[in-house]
């Protein structure tokens, strides 16, 4: 199986001390005093501006990210999660309200606007059955995002989203390996 590889740097533009990993890292502080840039050698990762995979999230795939502020981070990168490669079908149930309430729809492909496709005012809980997904606060894959792996998510508020409703979602495909 192909593993991802990411290198973090203390300073912008890949300067200063570095730390390399191919797995989840809930806290960068033992390795770097701060993290302001990264280079993804292979795979896909989510980077977070708080420890323990909390706070603002940003999806990174093979490439160079010279400045954490351009990624939408309010603070430096403090944790990261490797996204495993998924081959096979994608399935997710989205719900209009927390605790799987309100309208429910099952999805198997990307949706650039749940308002346009399903006439839903937003998604506030979900059940990911297959695959890995990115959910966005605005239609057309814009705004803050949240990574969803297989599991039940009864309340996005409890995950640090502040009660945000998600309006679009897309599958994380193998193309980043």
Domains for the chain: give ranges and CATH numbers: 5-83 (2.60.20.10), 91-176 (2.60.20.10)
Given pLDDT bands bounded at 50, 70 and 90, which one contains residue 176? low
Assess contact for 135 and 161: CB atoms under 8 A: no
The tens digit of pLDDT for each residue in 88-119 reads 999 999 999 999 999 999 999 999 999 999 99
pTM: 0.89
Which residue, 52, 53, 58, 60, is CA-closest to 73? 58
Which residue, 72, 91, 159, 163, is CA-closest to 123? 163
Backbone angles phi, psi at 46, to 5 degrees: -105, 135
Assess contact for 87 and 122: CB atoms under 8 A: no
CA dihedral 149, 155, 161, 162 (to 10 degrees): 180
Assess contact for 2 and 43: CB atoms under 8 A: yes
């Amino acid at each position: 199986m192909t593993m991802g590889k990411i290198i973090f740097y203390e300073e912008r533009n890949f300067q200063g001390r570095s730390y390399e990993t191919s797995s989840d890292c809930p806290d960068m502080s033992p390795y770097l005093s701060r993290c302001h840039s990264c280079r993804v050698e292979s795979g896909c990762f989510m980077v977070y501006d708080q420890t323990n995979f909390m706070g603002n999230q940003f999806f990174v795939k093979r490439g160079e990210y010279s400045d954490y502020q351009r990624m939408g981070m309010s603070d430096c990168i403090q944790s990261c999660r490797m996204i495993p490669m998924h081959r096979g079908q994608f399935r997710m149930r989205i719900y209009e309200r927390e605790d799987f309430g309100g309208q429910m729809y099952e999805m198997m492909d990307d949706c650039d606007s749940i308002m346009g496709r399903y006439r839903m005012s937003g998604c506030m809980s979900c059940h990911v059955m297959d695959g890995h997904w990115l959910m966005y606060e605005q239609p057309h894959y814009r705004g803050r995002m949240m990574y969803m792996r297989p599991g039940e998510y009864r309340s996005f508020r409890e995950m640090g989203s502040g009660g945000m409703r998600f309006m679009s979602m897309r599958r994380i495909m193998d193309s980043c390996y």
